[in-house]
Amino acid sequence: MAQNIKDKVVVIAGASSGLGAETARQLVKEGARVVLGARRIDRLKELAAELSLSDEAVFQVDVTDRNQVKAFVNHAVAVRGRIDVLLNNAGLMPHSPLERLKIDDWERMIDVNLKGVLFGIAAALPHMQNQKSGHIINTSSVAGHQVRPGGVVYSATKHAVRVISEGLRQEVKPYNIRSTIISPGAVKTELADHISEPDIAKGIKDFYENYAVPADSFARCVMFAISQPEDVDINEILFRPTAQQL
């Protein structure tokens, strides 16, 4: 699995916890040169210290601000010399039924889950086009494949990520750029902590306690996609805990 990972420059948005943090841990073990971005700079610094990374490997970024995302990617290129992989991983999941009209939550999901991915693509694509190489990995979800009551807007954003990723795949062929969508099922992260509705939060947390798999399951999928030879483009990975039915 580790071949073709050593010395690659991997830029991770949403790296302060969960999927992003665990992916950073696994990539560093295999010799990747990571640059970590997230809003919570204190968490990033803790992770960098754990991984023995220098200060230049962390960057405070709010993915809803396109200028900050551009600065983040430009910083990575400045300190590492190039960008081989961008992992768009920042996400929110404040579930609620539509009738409760949690419009602020809807807007936050659209801004982070959808616009954040687009801003990441916009920041990385010019560098990758100039290099004539690169790999953009976008985090979707099982919810991007099917919708359930209470998760309508979240599913909409994650389905949109799949649409954008497939369109990107088709458009970047002249530049030798690869693209991957990873759609996890229940994985142990902080996503359930974003749910403000107590009844919905309890149901989701109970489900995760019973079924969720560790975050390294996602990290292994990222590494599988990255580790392929340059002529192999892993376009989509959908995975669930073995016990998860939906």
Q: Is 161 helix (H, G, I), strand (E, B) or coil?
A: helix
CATH architecture, range 9-235: 3-Layer(aba) Sandwich (3.40)
What is the number of other CB atoms lying within 10 angstroms of the CB of residue 131? 15
Residues 6+ apart with CB under 8 A from 123: 66, 69, 70, 72, 73, 74, 86
The predicted pLDDT at position 194 comes to 72
Asked whether 222 and 137 are in contact (CB, 8 A), the reply is yes
Q: Round to whole Å and give the CA distance between 96 and 105.
A: 9
The predicted pLDDT at position 3 comes to 82
The predicted pLDDT at position 69 comes to 98
The predicted pLDDT at position 2 comes to 65
154: tokens are: 């979240």
Three-class secondary structure assignment of 102-159? CHHHHHHHHHHHHHHHHHHHHHHHHHHHHHCCEEEEEECCHHHCCCCCCCHHHHHHHH
Low-confidence ranges of the chain (pLDDT < 50): 1
Residues annotated as catalytic (active site), given as ranges: 154
Residue 48: Cβ-neighbour burial (10 angstroms; 0-12, 13-18, 19+): buried
Q: Is 180 helix (H, G, I), strand (E, B) or coil?
A: strand
The predicted pLDDT at position 205 comes to 83
The predicted pLDDT at position 142 comes to 96
